[in-house]
Structure 1
């Protein structure tokens, strides 16, 4: 056998050993790499991967702060928070949205409106992993059904949240406003950090103006979740800071009385405490249930409110702009005396009409036969139009604009009343800019009795009356009385900007107040029946505002005029005369006579505040001091 056919065992052994060494080296190198990688992961990058792991297991959830409560001046709760259970979905955790919604519709009663509202919110810009509510106010049976099928509904939770509730909804709706779901526009302007857990924001009224104060500061909690995103336990929690509780000047008793006095008639009542500017009552009738808007009002319910002829959503007290009529005569009397356009003793003959020229148009007095000889005090007491026609012509628009603007007409003079309109105080420049016409003497004639272009809100009329009651001293209207926290009212309220009205003769204020007292107590006062048998002296002025114009020789027949075209009834006044505690403005739309319709309402407000409510406040304050 040839030599080459024999095995070389030595060579094979060497080859095997080399291959073994190589494999062992390769194995040790791989093990070294694995150990090195393990060291890097477990030691070097331990914190990084621990954080990533915790992100899968631990989540940070924002905790919305409880909204601050709102009280009236006597501690009556006007706005509170109540727990509501709702079903919510987190879109990022829902596997199949259509299937999930179909399943929920089998378990719950979900209306088409709820579904449409949810689809809109789903399409809107929102925060990541934000819970979207599908339905509110779940019953115990519905909560139980969801609990049974919870494992079939990833991303679906039953959430308990505090929702705003207004126990006196219709009484306070226009003054307090309401909160609602945060919309797309609001989402762009709010602080995304502080509102991370908040679904609601103030939409109008006090709720909107004091949103920052009422909202509070968001809190956080670290929670452990399972693979389906269900919360297992809370690991750490930083409690939110609740919003501040606030107390308003409003008296719920007076607010309730105002609504009762209007008795369903369209109108508004504004009552102010002259010494502080505090708004005691801010009533607009008809009202609406503010609770409907908190979690989202239905389409049909909103359409019914929106399309109602009585306009319950319209805040007449703040946004209703009416011709003030004769209610501005006391302010014009002050203007006429201080400007020298008239004197206290000047008398005129009132034949029942006024003419700028002998052959010109006749402006009529409300009393067809005229008032005869009258002076300024008589003209205020009897509401003689002719005297004010002449005085307005003598003053001219510039003088009238100058003085009336000092009473707050033509501007929003409030400190913290959201949504108040500015009315219209016309001037030469305004008419030229708007109507491209000069100011005519006839325009001044109309302005002299609060007609023509001039418009004012009930709040402005009450403000001007309060200034007159204070003898020219300003106290801007405000709702906030106190903050139940570390912040003072002065820190929260905007700075007052109005200066006291300075007259050449300070006694003019007393004369104007006495003239208004003659309206209520004088033998020929237009509201003498209302002021009869009063336990105190009061000052007032009746007014009537035309809804439509009459031809020059056409007479007004209330019975022939449709109800909604009848004159508005107005009244302004304050009481008591020498130490004013309350100033009131009343308007009853299409109410006809100011003396017959609006004045009795104001008298009831005076009596309630002076003879009943303020005395109760004094006794309560005295009892509190005694206890302390």
Structure 2
């Protein structure tokens, strides 16, 4: 049976079509509504946000590092300068993730070595701030700049920047005083102000550059610049100029510094010259030195290894970090301690047979003059540098009382104002110190050795110079300082130790008279040096042992390695009645304080006090000093 034929229902089909049209129209309306809502949200609700992002893609804020303050000597000579230089920088965010390949292209363009390529990558990988250009090649030549310009299209993120780089025209002459600047490392980057140091790649590392970093650096400036899609600056929209760092004017004298270095004659040693009235450091020499310009833009591994491994230790600051036995240079202070404490009087005498013995002890503590000086009073003890007298005096004083007087003059502590961060404290031993450090008792023999500046006692040349200045000032304390003015403003120091106060002020004259006789009395240990002076000066020689000599054995330089021979020291100030300069000299392994160090001191004082005609620049007047005791048999003085 055939199936019935189904008739088409046009009405039903029409309803289905209309329903589909409405559903489609509704979907279109919903999508259009969502689109308009999104457009409204982006262009109205979030207008400020997206306009800022858009502007940020076009406008950038670039930091302008300030120019570093200059450093001058007392006569206006530039010691630390800024010189124009061109450096090649890389901004990693603009170079993309394949920036190491970009360095390969730079090496190819400039025809550099693989070792330089490794150094560049190390510099780029160091800590930095986002979108900050990192300099990796310094002091570009004109040819290198031209090569980069020709290949700029293939070097995105690479730019040639003009900047100021620190330059030290005197090179090694002020390396240990002014110091140097160097590249900021990752540790320093974490500690520095990220805002003020944005765009700055160098910071003071040592010396004055380090201590006055905040003042020398200045305040950062800014530029709002418009860039294209490649990040190239099209125009400057706004500029805020940076504030340059403050200029420093030092007490130091470049001419006197040169004289001091020449006087050392290339020997290893240290020189400090101080103006007693102000504490101003006139000269500071540590030899051998080094060229600080090597460190400014980054020293090579080979050059640094040569400096670091040198047996002469040119990187070691002997003035501030060198701790040496002061030897006989402290005897004037020991004598003053004895007079002030009442242990001795100006008339007290000790017989010197050439040695000293403690009661009930067999050991002999030898005088440098093995034949002895006979009867010795305090004046003769100073100008003859008589060890026997000071053995006896130290024994009577005791180590603790002796240590108190030493510290009052600045020994065993940091004394300078603006070099103290690098200065060693030295060591003034005492019972308490030995018990705390070595857990041992103090022995009387150690007191005797301390009385002539040997044994545990250690001091820096800076401390000896300051102690000499305090003697010259008759007890007045003025801290040594490098900087005279900061941007034409005098520096005020308010942490000066108390003056050295003694019961009888005449004891200053008595001790200084003995120091004067060291140089101006025929039997003084440095008479050959002082007898030719056109002025009166007071001084004291010293010899510090490097290696011990056994009981009864004589010092024989021919049997001792040159670097194991005694150190030579000398301190002095002049003119005696109105001191204008105090000097401390230490010559490593120089052996004779009066024969080697004293001539160095005289050359420095001559250069400071005398004019071209060899006459004292200012009248000092007649100097009175205590007459020496009756002469005894002459003996050779070291």
Q: Give the drift of 1:393.
A: 0.4
Question: Cα–Cα, structure 1 residues 488 and 372, in superposed 2: closer, same or farther, change >3 Å?
Answer: closer
The alignment status of 1:448 with 2:448, answered yes or no, reads no
The alignment status of 1:590 with 2:593, answered yes or no, reads no
Cα distance between partner residues in 2 of 1:212 and 1:5: 96
Given the two structures, how large is their TM-score scaled by the length of structure 1?
0.92
The alignment status of 1:263 with 2:265, answered yes or no, reads yes
With 48-57 and 24-33 compared, the bigger mean Cα shift is at: 24-33
| Paired position in structure 1 for 2:103 | 101
| Paired position in structure 2 for 1:397 | 399
Cα distance between partner residues in 2 of 1:617 and 1:346: 37
| Paired position in structure 2 for 1:421 | 424
Cα distance between partner residues in 2 of 1:299 and 1:48: 50
Kindly indicate whether the alpha-carbon contact (under 8 Å) linking 1:114 and 1:134 is maintained by their aligned counterparts in 2.
no
3-state SS in 2 of match to 1:269 = strand
Q: Give the drift of 1:451.
A: 0.5
| Paired position in structure 2 for 1:507 | 506
| Paired position in structure 2 for 1:92 | 93
Kindly indicate whether the alpha-carbon contact (under 8 Å) linking 2:569 and 2:593 is maintained by their aligned counterparts in 1.
yes
| Paired position in structure 1 for 2:630 | none
The C-alpha deviation readout for 1:444-480, integer Å capped at 9, x for no partner, is: 1101110111011000000000001000000011111
| Paired position in structure 1 for 2:69 | 68
Cα distance between partner residues in 2 of 1:344 and 1:109: 78
Kindly indicate whether the alpha-carbon contact (under 8 Å) linking 1:346 and 1:376 is maintained by their aligned counterparts in 2.
yes
Of the three residues 438, 441, 450, the one matched with 1:438 is 441
Q: Give the drift of 1:442.
A: 0.2
| Paired position in structure 1 for 2:83 | 82
3-state SS in 2 of match to 1:318 = coil
The C-alpha deviation readout for 1:93-113, integer Å capped at 9, x for no partner, is: 223123212111111143445
Q: How many residues align?
A: 611
3-state SS in 2 of match to 1:410 = coil
Question: Cα–Cα, structure 1 residues 109 and 178, in superposed 2: closer, same or farther, change >3 Å?
Answer: farther
Kindly indicate whether the alpha-carbon contact (under 8 Å) linking 1:113 and 1:298 is maintained by their aligned counterparts in 2.
no
Q: Give the drift of 1:126.
A: 2.5
The alignment status of 1:253 with 2:255, answered yes or no, reads yes
Of the three residues 481, 493, 500, the one matched with 1:478 is 481
Q: Give the drift of 1:132.
A: 2.3
RMSD: 2.6
Q: Give the drift of 1:31.
A: 6.0
3-state SS in 1 of match to 2:89 = strand
Cα distance between partner residues in 1 of 2:397 and 2:305: 49
The C-alpha deviation readout for 1:240-298, integer Å capped at 9, x for no partner, is: 11111111111111111111111210000000000011111111011000000111111
With 108-117 and 70-79 compared, the bigger mean Cα shift is at: 108-117
The alignment status of 1:570 with 2:569, answered yes or no, reads yes
Kindly indicate whether the alpha-carbon contact (under 8 Å) linking 2:390 and 2:451 is maintained by their aligned counterparts in 1.
yes
| Paired position in structure 1 for 2:46 | 45
| Paired position in structure 2 for 1:551 | 550
3-state SS in 1 of match to 2:222 = strand
Q: Give the drift of 1:512.
A: 1.2
With 358-367 and 437-446 compared, the bigger mean Cα shift is at: 358-367
With 352-361 and 423-432 compared, the bigger mean Cα shift is at: 352-361
Q: Give the drift of 1:523.
A: 2.0
3-state SS in 2 of match to 1:301 = helix
| Paired position in structure 1 for 2:623 | none
Cα distance between partner residues in 2 of 1:293 and 1:332: 44
| Paired position in structure 1 for 2:468 | 465
3-state SS in 2 of match to 1:316 = coil
Cα distance between partner residues in 2 of 1:164 and 1:116: 25
More helix by share: 1
With 442-451 and 88-97 compared, the bigger mean Cα shift is at: 88-97
3-state SS in 2 of match to 1:254 = helix
Of the three residues 197, 200, 223, the one matched with 2:199 is 197
Cα distance between partner residues in 2 of 1:276 and 1:333: 26
Kindly indicate whether the alpha-carbon contact (under 8 Å) linking 1:73 and 1:250 is maintained by their aligned counterparts in 2.
yes
| Paired position in structure 2 for 1:626 | none
Given the two structures, how large is their TM-score scaled by the length of structure 2?
0.91
Cα distance between partner residues in 2 of 1:125 and 1:102: 21
Q: How does 1:277-426 map to 2 (within 5 A)?
A: 277-357=279-359, 360-417=362-419, 418-426=421-429
The alignment status of 1:59 with 2:60, answered yes or no, reads yes
3-state SS in 2 of match to 1:80 = strand
Cα distance between partner residues in 1 of 2:517 and 2:279: 25
Cα distance between partner residues in 2 of 1:558 and 1:230: 71
Question: Cα–Cα, structure 1 residues 321 and 6, in superposed 2: closer, same or farther, change >3 Å?
Answer: closer
Cα distance between partner residues in 1 of 2:8 and 2:586: 128
Cα distance between partner residues in 1 of 2:576 and 2:114: 59
| Paired position in structure 1 for 2:607 | 608
Question: Cα–Cα, structure 1 residues 397 and 17, in superposed 2: closer, same or farther, change >3 Å?
Answer: same
Question: Cα–Cα, structure 1 residues 464 and 189, in superposed 2: closer, same or farther, change >3 Å?
Answer: same
Question: Cα–Cα, structure 1 residues 189 and 617, in superposed 2: closer, same or farther, change >3 Å?
Answer: farther
Question: Cα–Cα, structure 1 residues 616 and 136, in superposed 2: closer, same or farther, change >3 Å?
Answer: farther
Question: Cα–Cα, structure 1 residues 230 and 586, in superposed 2: closer, same or farther, change >3 Å?
Answer: same
Kindly indicate whether the alpha-carbon contact (under 8 Å) linking 2:477 and 2:496 is maintained by their aligned counterparts in 1.
no
The C-alpha deviation readout for 1:352-395, integer Å capped at 9, x for no partner, is: 11111365100111111111111100010111111000000000
Q: How does 1:147-166 map to 2 (within 5 A)?
A: 147-166=149-168
Cα distance between partner residues in 2 of 1:7 and 1:549: 127
Q: Give the drift of 1:587.
A: 0.6
Question: Cα–Cα, structure 1 residues 616 and 416, in superposed 2: closer, same or farther, change >3 Å?
Answer: farther
Cα distance between partner residues in 2 of 1:443 and 1:467: 26
